[in-house]
Chains A and B, each alone.
Chain A
């Protein structure tokens, strides 16, 4: 089935508000809407624009986005939405506010007291608390996926204008990712070793972390992680993980045609995919190479 058919399916699921929910409810999700707007940007730019307009109305006073309509707290979705807006080159004020919020946001271990605690008393998890990233929700610690999305969003936003404060923040985030990489490569949700036991990598976290590191020096650990992802991507049948693997491997110029074919078979007519965030990610993956990659970093 051609990706256009999945686009049609996604179009029929847009809410009257302009957003998309995850799974058939009326509650617009910022993640689903951001991904849907990216997925529709080429085929249906007007609809994508209405999704972005909806998102711009949901932005908080401080520049952050909540996770869904009705939620009032700042959330990890801010980075994803900034990526979606970056692709348009418009929404200047919304992007600038989001940029400033991301530069100032940090994981809770970024506070001196918690850094001290993790260095001296609480050492069951092996990590360097001096290297912190971004949390899922304000008030908690840094984790891999929100950190990776934040790095991508900031790198994209500053592509023509490397500001000192944001460069410093991005470097700290990159160092955090490299500090938390699993022993044999790849990323778990946030830690690499707990109680002396190495954790195993997760597919989605590894794919998204690699996207954030695409323009960094190709260190041994990045190569190991890429190798792990290449091997793992051929061994499962889950749509989200496969789609993120394709999006990630593509920017490292790895062959993805075989994976795209397998993804198309798994999706079938797409109607079994209830989650619009999953459907949108799958469309982005199937269109890899045929549209501007929404997570590419051109620096």
Chain B
């Protein structure tokens, strides 16, 4: 076939368009990578929320040899609503963690949250019982929903949002600790250290709830937020966790574990395994393992006991049966009706 100028030009344009579309699908959507060669995770056993948690966590943190001396540490618990256990990260655990970081030499510790559903943060803090843990003047609470904001370009492009306004308290911190409650989640499957970072997005700009993130894709928004604001450490509250119709209407599940990790993907993968789920089935965890951290067990060093799959996996809504790790028996969430 003779290739005249017109055909050549048409073919070139077609090839360029095809290459453009292919690149859009295959080109990485992240500008950063926080992955390390090997990540560390420690699973601690604790059955109750007591004063003994402080020494347990301090011993656990020492295994990681963290360099927090002189740093401004920000603890980001999961405080959602003025509801009783197990909706929110337990305040005894939050207080213990704050004192541990001071003990390790942190200059100050800020406990920060921008609750996603209720505007009255004071009511949530009171109900969670956090106030007694704020008496040390080096520990303060910042309501991220009403902090001063800065426009920040996103370091990943999954959601298409390109930029977010984020609180100064978060951007000024030198060491960010995500402290999720281990829970199932009726939109995202699970809510762990990565999903917990939704709480840094300010309500005054994005609302209560931060509905724009839902419309932009929950998994996609999680990835963009965590690419932009890296999590340095995780302390996950799984002493009393939540199964079924989480994150608010689920049932308490006595798991008896606290998960510490220097990598949020490794932390969430371990928590998912402890719940009886396959972490690869959670989109933001599996995609996050490309650049936010390590998912596979061969790249995670367990400090202490292994993360074992429970005899009975966490119950899930029917839509989330696919989360269950192979070999586990499904245990559907208790069905309720109104």
Contacts and interface: CB of A to CB of B under 8 A. Distances in A.
Interface of A: 21-23, 25-27, 29, 31, 67-68, 70-71, 75-76, 108, 124, 126, 135-137, 139-141, 143, 145-146, 183, 188-190, 193-200, 202-205, 236-241, 275, 277-278
Interface of B: 81-83, 117-120, 122-123, 126-127, 143, 146-149, 151, 165, 168, 186, 203-209, 211-212, 214-215, 245, 248-249, 317, 335-338
Secondary structure dominating the interface of A: loop
- Most chain B beta-carbon neighbours within 10 Å: one of A27, A137, A195: A195
Contacts of A202: 81, 117-118, 120
B336 A71 contact: no
A137 B206 contact: yes
A165 to B, nearest CB: 26
A228 B12 CA distance: 69
Given A70-B151, A198-B338, A240-B123, A137 B212 contact: yes
Contacts of A29: 146, 204
B207 A76 contact: yes
Contact of A238 (B120, B148, B248, B338): B120
A227 B175 CA distance: 46
Nearest to A192: B338
Contacts of A31: 204
A23 B126 contact: no
A204 B143 CA distance: 17
A189 B186 CA distance: 17
A105 to B, nearest CB: 14
A31 B208 CA distance: 14
A282 B148 CA distance: 22
Contacts of A240: 119-120, 122-123
A136 B207 contact: yes
A140 B127 CA distance: 29
11 contacts: A26-B148, A136-B211, A137-B206, A139-B215, A143-B207, A143-B211, A183-B338, A195-B245, A238-B123, A241-B123, A275-B146
Nearest to B116: A189
A275 B186 contact: no
A274 to B, nearest CB: 9
Contacts of A277: 146
B62 to A, nearest CB: 35
Contacts of A205: 118
Contacts of A137: 205-207, 211-212
A60 to B, nearest CB: 15
A238 B122 contact: yes
Contacts of B214: 140
Contacts of A199: 248-249
Given A146-B207, A237-B126, A21 B118 contact: no
Contacts of B117: 188-189, 202
A139 B212 CA distance: 7
A22 B204 contact: yes
B126 A136 contact: no
B119 A68 contact: no
A22 to B, nearest CB: 4
B35 to A, nearest CB: 33
Contacts of B148: 21, 23, 25-27
